[in-house]
Amino acid sequence: MYEELKEIKNLNPKKFIEEKAKEISDIVGDGVAINALSGGVDSSTVTMLGHRALGDRNKTYFIENGLMRQNEPEQIVAIFQELGVPIEVVDAKEQFFAALKGVTDPEQKREAVTQTFYKDVFGKLVRESGAKYLLQGTILTDVDETAAGIKRQHNVFEQIGIDPQEAFGYKILEPLVQIRKDGVRKVAEALGLPESIYNRMPFPGPALAARVIEEATPERIEIAREANYIVEEELAKEIALKHINPFQYMAILHKDRVTGMRDGKRDFGLQIEVRCWDSIDARTATPTDVSYEARKRIADRLTKEVPGVVSVTYNLAEKPPSTMEAI
Ligand code: XMP
């Protein structure tokens, strides 16, 4: 079962990279490893470490699960192409939506994404590639929260007593499991990743499914995608003007509808909640003091540009007792 992992303090990114690349290369030997890239700083760092340690013997896949943000798959693949790391895109949208169909409970939703990802999609890729190892970007915060029973992070297995070899047919290597987000960013920069990656805002494994309360249908995911795009665009302007420096921000599509009006008629419409967090390491967080003007601009755009939205709220609760994502 879960034992407390030792966190690496006073991280030296260059030394860390050398050590981890050697570790990966020693374990995998002349075999093949695979990893999945989502474009987040964790999986991007692992992709670069795997490439450095194994070259072409590490195969990187971008799983198009239908739950990513606007233009995300194209942008990420282009960045890695530029770095000379080949990425194969796997279209698994239908599988993910089939697994999420009718699922409303938050933990069951996370489990549906986990199972589809690791067992169905990845299991098949592993079998086809002959890989015995999966490189994965689990960080210490993921382990802490899962072990504490707060949230089932989609990428934590061994620490909670699940043997991936038995469950999925491959071993999992987790080179980042002793560091947290701040450490990963330093390692990512030292690996030569661009700022859009090493400073990338965190995005959860279950992706937009974590931002849709109740069933994550393709239609509801699309609404969350448009809403997240607007929130990101507007808050990025505030960040560029140095008005705020948040850790993470997002839009959440609520389950309940509320009465609104449009074109002089009653419209029983959708509610979007906007969250923007100040945090160091995601363990605790406080709502960012986003100006009224910026929040108003977001609300105006969400109600005008996202079909069916009649209500926009801004979260003021702290973590804890909140968590950063709504699911
Ligand atoms: P919560 O919602 O637990 O989120 O306060 C803390 C941080 O973790 C991210 N998050 C995840 N990251 N897999 C991940 O890799 C997940 O399943 C997952 N769930 C939440 C969240 O976006 C925030 O940065």
Contact 100, 209 (CB under 8 A): yes
17 CA distance to ligand 1 centroid (A)? Answer: 24
Check pocket membership of 279 for ligand 1, CB cut-off 6 A.
no
Check pocket membership of 246 for ligand 1, CB cut-off 6 A.
no
Paired residues of 252 in beta bridges: 273
Which residue, by CA, sits nearest to atom 3 of ligand 1?
323
Check pocket membership of 151 for ligand 1, CB cut-off 6 A.
yes
Ligand 1 atom nearest to 152, measured from its CA: 17
128 CA distance to ligand 1 centroid (A)? Answer: 30
Side chain identity, residue 48: M
Which residue, by CA, sits nearest to atom 7 of ligand 1?
282
- Tell me the pLDDT tens digit for each residue of 77-92: 999 999 999 999 999 9
Pocket test for ligand 1, best of 151, 157, 276 (most atoms within 8 A of CB): 151
Side chain identity, residue 275: R
Which residues 6+ apart lie within 8 Å of 129 measured at CB?
A: 32, 34, 59
pLDDT of residue 188: 98
pLDDT of residue 317: 98
Ligand 1 atom nearest to 181, measured from its CA: 24
Q: How many CA atoms lie within 13 A of 154 on its CB side?
A: 21
Task: Quote the DSSP letter at residue 160.
Answer: G
Please list the pLDDT of the chain residue by residue as tens digits (327 residues).
Answer: 456 688 988 999 999 999 999 999 999 999 999 999 999 999 999 999 999 999 999 999 999 999 999 999 999 999 999 999 999 999 999 999 999 999 999 999 999 999 999 888 987 888 888 888 999 999 998 888 777 766 666 566 665 566 777 777 788 899 999 999 889 999 999 999 999 999 999 999 899 999 999 999 999 999 999 999 999 999 999 999 999 999 999 999 999 999 999 989 999 999 999 999 999 878 899 999 999 999 999 999 999 999 999 999 999 999 999 999 999
Side chain identity, residue 121: V
pLDDT of residue 163: 73
Which residues 6+ apart lie within 8 Å of 314 measured at CB?
A: 273, 274, 275, 276, 287, 290, 295
Which residue, by CA, sits nearest to atom 22 of ligand 1?
204
pLDDT of residue 1: 46
CA distance 281 to 24: 26
Which residue, by CA, sits nearest to atom 9 of ligand 1?
204
- Tell me the pLDDT tens digit for each residue of 144-183: 877 776 666 656 666 556 677 777 778 889 999 999 988 9
* Structure tokens given for 166: 């038995």
Task: Quote the DSSP letter at residue 105.
Answer: S
Ligand 1 atom nearest to 137, measured from its CA: 15
Which residue, by CA, sits nearest to atom 4 of ligand 1?
324
Check pocket membership of 318 for ligand 1, CB cut-off 6 A.
no
Task: Quote the DSSP letter at residue 10.
Answer: S
Contact 31, 131 (CB under 8 A): yes
